[in-house]
Structure 1
Amino acid sequence: MLAIFDLDDTLTDGDSSSLWLQFMVQHGLAAADMLPREAKLMAAYRRGELRMEDYMDFTLQPMQGRSVEEVAEWVERFIADIIAPIVFDQARDTLARYKAEGRTLLVISATGEHLVGPISRFLGADDFLAIQLATEAGCYTGNTSGVMTYQQGKVIRLQQWLQQHGQSLAGSHGYSDSINDVPLLQAVEVAYTVNADPKLAAVAAQQGWQPLFWSRQTQPAT
């Protein structure tokens, strides 16, 4: 049986895409003037109004032409410095409990695979689905490929994954914080919201989804 998790603001107390851009700016890998524009795009995301194509086209610009290996090295440092301290305590406990029960842990995120893959492995997930990034000669092109794991796209990619792995959603559990993941939460058998945004909280109340409120004791370094 599957336990399916959104990543950003569900398992972690923060959005990895935004934090990654801030990290790149801090290390001279991206221009500081990108941050205000990214913040506006994220505000649209939280309203459920973002065109993910716009977000990815913009935020992938600093990676264009960079090698997959170079980015992976930076991501490893990013996870250690930024992501590790902001994982919700209850997220760690829940993942460990499901793992002990023998469930398959699947992370599905509307974030690029360069981040979601390594973060999912760090969290102990069995597999992940994320926005796929195009490469050429071992370098990122700044473009995406395939169906984006965003809103209904998460369900499309999940159905493809189920067929490929011979699994089903029977007995599945799902977790998210965002109004953008209503299609995903409707697809699983048992849905939980984690620190739900107001729009998702309203839907969850109508659907009878269980609300969870997660926090962390460990504070990130300043």
Structure 2
Amino acid sequence: MALALFDLDDTLLDGDTASLWFEHMVDRGWADAAMARQEQALMARYYAGTLAMEEYMAFTLSPLAERSLTEVAAEVALCLQERIVPRLYPEAQALLQHYRARGDRIIIISASGEHIVRPVARHLGVSEVLAIELEQVADRYTGRTQGVLTYQGGKVTRLRQWLGEELDLLDSHGYSDSINDLPLLELVEFAHVVNPGERLAKLALARGWESLLWRR
């Protein structure tokens, strides 16, 4: 069973789920407009490959502190239907079906929080997810993360932890839009870049990686 590894944000959909979720929190009064501007400034550093993910997560998870898992899940479900599903690339969904038909093991590996990524993955019919884990105490979020963050090299670390001796890279495929995912793309046998930025596009061309241009 070959591996098919997918980044989520700006790869399977046109946009970033964490930012879309933050916009939803602003609309619901969980965060204010000033926080939204700060979140966008942090995201600019993400796209430049200079973001400390610990800083981003500490900031964006602060509105969830002391909120129940049930309350957050209900709001994520609304955000999913209103903001995320309309942005999913048809090509991405067709490609997931391609690997599903081949009998491959599909894993979504995302640098967004698991509270967002798992519902999106379920919508896409993907059962295996590696995302940033959120600390919980007595069925409430603390506003903190736990474990290794699935960001940059942390994606490879978590993948190795998850699969252990089952890790088999023969005929493995990886998909991402981001230079932050270079460690993951270098791990697989066949790397594919989706709507890549300039740095990743040049690297993909030099290495002979497939470059895909997807639109909604």
Q: What is the deviation of 1:190?
A: 0.4
- Per-residue CA deviations over 1:150-201 (Å, capped at 9, x if unaligned) read 000000001111117x242221100000000000000011000000011111
SS of 2:151 mapped into structure 1: coil
SS of 1:60 mapped into structure 2: helix
1:138 maps to 2:139: yes
Q: Which residue of 2 aligns with 1:171?
A: 171
Q: Which residue of 1 aligns with 2:186?
A: 186
Q: 1:29-178 maps to which residues of 2 (within 5 A)?
A: 29-163=30-164, 166-178=166-178
Supply the distance in 2 between the matched residues of 1:98 and 1:115 (Cα, whole angstroms). 23
Supply the distance in 1 between the matched residues of 2:8 and 2:188 (Cα, whole angstroms). 16
1:204 maps to 2:167: no
Q: What is the deviation of 1:11?
A: 0.1
Normalising to structure 2: TM-score of the pair? 0.97
Supply the distance in 1 between the matched residues of 2:52 and 2:120 (Cα, whole angstroms). 24
Q: What is the deviation of 1:99?
A: 0.8
The CA RMSD over aligned residues, in Å, is 0.9
Structure 2 spans left out of the alignment, 5+ residues: none
SS of 1:156 mapped into structure 2: helix
- Per-residue CA deviations over 1:91-123 (Å, capped at 9, x if unaligned) read 011011111111111000000000011111111
Normalising to structure 1: TM-score of the pair? 0.95
Q: What is the deviation of 1:2?
A: 1.0
Report the AA paired with residue 151 of structure 1: Q
| Deviant stretches of 4+, over 4 Å | none
Supply the distance in 1 between the matched residues of 2:29 and 2:36 (Cα, whole angstroms). 13
Q: Which residue of 2 aligns with 1:219?
A: none
Supply the distance in 2 between the matched residues of 1:197 and 1:170 (Cα, whole angstroms). 27
Q: Which residue of 2 aligns with 1:195?
A: 195
Structure 1 spans left out of the alignment, 5+ residues: 217-222
Q: What is the deviation of 1:50?
A: 0.2
- Per-residue CA deviations over 1:27-78 (Å, capped at 9, x if unaligned) read 1122221111111100000000000001000000110110111101111111
Aligned length: 215
Is the contact made by 2:160 and 2:167 (CA closer than 8 Å) also made in structure 1? no
